Structure 1
Amino acid sequence: MDVMIYAANAGDRNERGMLGALSLGAEIAHRLDAEARTIGSPVAIVEGGWVDQLKAATPTLRLLARRVAEQLGDSGSFILTMGRCAAGIATLPPVASRYPDAAIVWFDAHGDCNVPTEDGAMRYLGGMVISGAAGEWDTGFGHGVDLANVILVGARDLDPPELERIDAGQIGLVPVGPDLGRRLARAIRGRRVYVHLDCDVLDAGLLATEYQSPNGLSYADLREAFEILAEHDVLGLEIAEYEASWPDGRPNPPDRLIDAISPVAEAIRSRWNS
């Protein structure tokens, strides 16, 4: 089997995410003794708001959606690296179509469940991924995600509408804090899981990401959570927002990140080989 790398744009505002998807995917494939298969390639940054960003990304996102559907049908599980979380508008609908009751475990500093506004205030495509996959606005890639199956993990930089969703019980939240693994297991309730890891869920300064949010997860927290996830039936793992370098050009080694997620990566490899 292979590790998928989505290397094209998806609302990118710098090139470091696209380059990061390539380098991280290659390193994960190397560690798993797997092939790396790339979808798209880094392109120039698209100026403008989310409508322009989505239009530019649509051709390669369609390729990604098709490949995810194929992987779910072939091996039932996959690993994907992608520059920006916005690519999730293409990955979540195929998962929900095949496994409508699966828990979508979404590690992210942000809620990603805003919706477009008439005044155009919502300009960032990545802030609307979950709501789009749930059919609250038309992404062009389908929908089908039940918000009741979404579990935000580590989210703390939340907009008022997102907080309202959480307070109303529309979307689950496992906040940063002690006993993360136990609380996550309780939220999953033994279901199949599809895992999205936005690297800015980690505490500011640990890893180069476009957004640096304080009071996030440590690497030990992330490892604890991924050990719990590995005890479940993992349908797939997608990793977003890893940047190839810091803005000042310093390298961004992925070793501690890969070590932390290794329980799930190894579980998926075992599934490939079974």
Structure 2
Amino acid sequence: MVQQPPLTAPPPLICFQGNCAGRNPHGMTGALALAQRLADVLGIPLQTLGAPGQALSGSWQQVLAAVTPDLVSLARCMEKTLSEGRRPVLTMSRCAGGMATLPVIARHHPDACIVWFDAHGDLNTPETSESGYLGGMVIAAAAGLWESGLGSDLSLAQVILAGAHWLDPGEQALIDDKRLCHLSPTHLNAESLQHAIAGRPVYIHLDCDVLQAGVVPSDYQIESGLAPDALAELMTALSREDIIGMEVAELESHWPDDSAPADLTVLVEILMPLARKLLSDEVTCAP
């Protein structure tokens, strides 16, 4: 494991505004709205990275080529943050940003686990994906099941897939082969999650579509997701673990056909135990 220097500055709240392979721009504005709410509630500064881009269409190869420069800049930011011994809280538009963040996390914390909250598996490769959507190939890329060009330092054994229940056949095959830990909504609770973590450091990814439909706007509204109270209980339990960082994706700023910004109060309350732990801890200075 890379030796971590002591903290010399407050841990960063980062909003990545670069392109993460979004099919519409609403995730970028959603990521910024959430980051601004967290910064306001906690009374801390907000760092933004990158500039909003255009919605993308085309093949996964075309989309990957278009977003790679932005994702490289995100990876560099994460590398710098972790090298300084800091614990990031990151908001970003889409899950595809994980192709940049997860390999960096794995290099700095090879003993850590990734708790990946998502209604989907994100375990597809270009060969197994039925849709060709880049956001559905994130974990597989970071674990070297296909070559994204953004790093493949993650091991599937580090991944705890939490709340996923909308799975493609290739993803289910990896789970059935026990290549990674899967906690479906039925089996996901504080006790099962603690058992799966097994004392390891934890990096958290939250895809907002893991929540039951109608709670917050996201590109996908999936039935049979987690109730807000259930996710809040899990986040409170995770706040007692050794958390090394967190990222939130797939939140849109508005509901379809509604010009008013979405109410993010429930989501902010869910995240607050972890956000306070990561962003409000006292700074430890070098001796």
The TM tier, using the shorter chain, reads: over 0.9
The 5-angstrom pairing of residues 51-66 of structure 1 reads 51-66=61-76
Partner of 1:158: 167
1:231 corresponding residue in structure 2: 240
Q: Which of the two has greater helix per residue?
A: 1
Further displaced range: 25-34 or 184-193: 25-34
8 Å CA contact retained: 2:13, 2:279? no
Q: Cα deviations across residues 14-44 of structure 1 (Å, max 9, x unaligned)?
A: 1100111111111112222221111112211
Does 1:214 pair with 2:216? Answer: no
2:106 equivalent to 1:96: yes
Aligned-residue Cα RMSD (Å) equals 1.5
Q: Is the 8 A contact 2:207 2:250 kept in 1?
A: yes
What amino acid maps onto 2:105 in structure 1?
A: V
In structure 2, list runs of 5 or more residues that go unmatched: 1-9
**1:137 aligns to 2:127 (yes or no):** no
Aligned partners of 1:202 and 1:219 also within 8 Å: yes
Percent identity over the alignment? 42
Tell me the TM-score normalised to structure 2 length.
Answer: 0.91
Kept in 1: contact 2:207–2:249 (CA 8 A): yes
Q: Secondary structure at 1:46's aligned position in 2?
A: coil
1:119-198 map, 5 Å: 121-177=130-186, 180-198=189-207
- Residues 220-266 of structure 1 show CA distances to partners (whole Å, capped at 9, x for unaligned) of 11111111111111111000000000121253111111111111111
For residue 78 of structure 1, the aligned residue among 84, 88, 94 is 88
Instruction: State the partner residue of 2:20.
Output: 10
**In the alignment, which of 243, 255, 258 is matched to residue 265 of structure 2?**
255
TM-score, reference length from structure 1: 0.95
* Alpha-carbon spacing, 1:179–1:212, altered in 2? closer, same or farther (3 Å): closer
| Cα distance between partner residues in 2 of 1:261 and 1:21 | 14
**Whole-angstrom distance in 2 between the partners of 1:37 and 1:270:** 16
Distance (Å, rounded) in 1 between the aligned partners of 2:46 and 2:217: 22
How many angstroms does 1:122 deviate by?
A: 4.2
CA contact (8 A) 1:77 1:272 kept: no
The 1-side partners of 2:223 and 2:282 are apart by: 37
Query: Secondary structure in 1 aligned to 2:38?
Result: helix
**Separation of aligned partners in 2, 1:167 and 1:136:** 16
Using the TM superposition, give the Cα deviation of residue 121 of structure 1 relative to its aligned residue in structure 2, in angstroms. 4.5
8 Å contact 2:24–2:56 — kept in the other structure?
no
Find out whether 1:32 has 2:42 as its counterpart.
yes
